[in-house]
Each structure stands twice: as C-alpha cells, then as structure tokens.
Structure 1
Amino acid sequence: MKKLVLMAVAIVAVSFASCGNKAADAAKAQEDSIRIADSIAAVEAAAAEAAAAAAADTVVADSVAVVAE
C-alpha cells in the first residue's frame, strides 16, 4: 500500500512540474511577438525611405538630363 501511495505522489508531482508557469510563458510570447513586429516595421520603414530616396534621385537625374540637352 505504501508503494501505491508513493507512486501516486510521484505522479502528482510530475504532473505539477510538467504544467509549468503558463502565465509567464504567455507574457514572454507576447513580448517576443511585439518585439518582432516592431523590428519588421522598422525594416519596412527603412525600405520605404530608401525607395523614396531612390525615386527622388531618379527625378533629379532626369531633370539634369533634360536641362543638359
């Protein structure tokens, strides 16, 4: 009988240990997703600025070509 009680206690202990702290895991996952979204937004903003600068450079180059002719 003692072995059965010890086995039940061991199973309960393993069950509690395997559950972990779900609230902390969820908070960390939310922080990670926010950080990743911010990084993606920063990269997209930089790409948009680069595209706008390239378009402005093209317009200036076209204007110079027209004036030179």
Structure 2
Amino acid sequence: MRILTLAAVAAAALSLAACSQKTEESAAATGDAAASTAAAAGDTAMSAAGDAATNTAAAADAAAANTAAAANTAAANAQAAGAAADAAVTTPAEAH
C-alpha cells in the first residue's frame, strides 16, 4: 500500500512538472510575441513621425514659396498702380 501511494505521488509530481514546463514554454512564447509586437509598434510610430516631419517641411516650403510669389505680385501691382497714377496726373505745364 505504501509503494502504491508513493507511486501515485510520484506520478502526480511528474504530471505537475510536465504541466509546469508546458505553462512555462507557453508563457515564454507569449512574452516573445508581445516583445515582437511592441517592437513593430515602435517601428511604425517612428516611421509615422518621420513621415509627419517630412510632410510638415514640405508644407512649410510650399507656404514660403507661395508667400514670396504673393509678395512679388503685390509689388508689381503697386508699381503698376504708381505708374497709372503718374500718367493720370497732369501738371500745369502739360495742360497748355
């Protein structure tokens, strides 16, 4: 009876050890998958940040170019208005 009890205890211990090993392996695999997912998320975030910086720089360059073009147009319009005003003014010497 004692041998049978010891054999049952030994079998139970072996079963628990095997179960514990499977649980440990599963936990390790889950941890590896979580680390891989976190690394991929970090890479995606870095890529998105880089894209945002590039797009912001391009928008700033376009805005600067548009501002310069608008300033040039305004200057040309002012010059044309000044020339038109000069042409419209008559001096007393020109009136005769």
TM tier relative to shorter chain: 0.7 to 0.9
**1:49 aligned partner:** 65
Selected match of 1:11 from 9, 27, 30: 27
Following TM superposition, the consecutive aligned residue runs of length 4 or more in structure 1 with deviations greater than 4 angstroms are 24-29
Q: Give the Cα separation in 2 of the matches to 1:38 and 1:15.
A: 35
Query: What whole-Å deviation, never above 9, does each CA across 1:10-55 have from its counterpart, x for those lacking one?
Result: 1111111111073x65555444433322221111111101011111
> What is the TM-score with the length of structure 2 in the denominator?
0.58
* Deviation (angstroms), 1:3: 1.6
**2:56 aligned partner:** 40
The alignment yields a C-alpha RMSD, in angstroms, of 2.1
Selected match of 1:60 from 65, 76, 93: 76
- Highest Rg: 1 or 2? 2
* Percent of residue pairs identical: 24
